[in-house]
């Protein structure tokens, strides 16, 4: 794919191929990983991961326009489109290394290249989970459970791991990730709530006396302390 000259037709063919791959992983992960080539180099999966990063960036831009994105400004949303593909590729290699070690411990004979290809194609669901992620708590839960299922499919079909073993190992790992996600979301929401309350108070801050300012600051800190303790 990467050896051909970059033309308009080449771009259309590769975009269609990427979208078809994304659709297949989402709709039929078992069938996809069962027939996925275990070799073939890193170029194709890297392009796929970067493409998913671009899609995530574009989706975040659209969500930001309506006030639902992860970035607070339009400029940051544009920058996110550039940064996200780069981060996706870099963390793709790191994630593949972690998966490679886990699969080897579980008895897989496959190479790091195969682990990278598996990890790269599981990113097919990330544009969808980016949209689902706007739903507090539920979005994160669905995304993590879905990723766990996709990873189990890759474990069974590519690495020959038994279904029960794959679910036990990745069920525990993704279960811990799920708890961290819920805890992080809870803390972030309470922190944002506290910041909003502080912003409202600070609008009249200049009009307050020194005693009132001290009291307002104390109440804000107490509220943040309670939120942390509840966590």
Percent of the chain with pLDDT over 90: 52
Tell me: pLDDT of 3 over 70: no
Q: Is the dihedral of CA 61, 64, 70, 73 positive or negative?
A: positive
Question: Taking a C-beta distance cutoff of 8 angstroms, is the pair 164, 64 a contact?
Answer: no
Taking the model in full, what pTM does it have? 0.74
Over range 22-33, report the average pLDDT: 96
Over range 201-222, report the average pLDDT: 56
Q: Which of 75-84, 137-146, 217-226 has the highest mean pLDDT?
A: 137-146
Q: How far apart are the C-alpha atoms of 54 and 127, rounded to whole Å?
A: 9
For the chain, the average pLDDT equals 82
Q: How confident is the model over 137-182, as pLDDT tens digits?
A: 788 899 999 999 999 999 999 999 999 999 999 999 999 988 887 7
Tell me: pLDDT of 217 over 80: no
Tell me: pLDDT of 88 over 80: yes
Q: How confident is the model at residue 34 (pLDDT cuts 50, 70, 90)?
A: very high
Over range 17-33, report the average pLDDT: 95
């Amino acid at each position: 794919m990467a050896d051909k000259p970059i033309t308009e037709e080449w771009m259309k063919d590769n975009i269609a191929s990427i979208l078809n791959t994304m659709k297949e992983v989402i709709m039929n992960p078992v069938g996809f990983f069962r027939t996925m080539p275990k070799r073939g180099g890193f170029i194709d999966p890297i392009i796929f991961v970067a493409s998913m990063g671009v899609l995530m960036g574009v989706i975040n831009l659209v969500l930001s326009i309506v006030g639902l994105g992860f970035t607070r400004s339009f400029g940051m949303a544009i920058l996110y489109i550039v940064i996200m593909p780069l981060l996706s590729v870099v963390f793709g290699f790191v994630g593949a290394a972690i998966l490679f070690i886990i699969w080897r411990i579980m008895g897989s004979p496959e190479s790091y290249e195969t682990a990278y290809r598996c990890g790269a194609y599981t990113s097919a669901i990330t544009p969808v989970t980016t949209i689902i992620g706007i739903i507090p708590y539920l979005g994160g839960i669905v995304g993590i459970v879905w990723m766990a299922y996709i990873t189990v499919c890759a474990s069974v079909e590519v690495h020959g791991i038994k279904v029960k073993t794959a679910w036990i190992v990745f069920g525990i790992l993704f279960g811990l990730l799920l708890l961290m996600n819920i805890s992080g979301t809870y803390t972030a929401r309470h922190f944002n709530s506290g910041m909003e309350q502080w912003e409202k108070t600070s609008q009249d801050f200049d009009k307050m006396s020194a005693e009132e300012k001290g009291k307002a600051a104390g109440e804000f800190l107490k509220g943040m302390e309670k939120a942390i303790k509840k966590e």
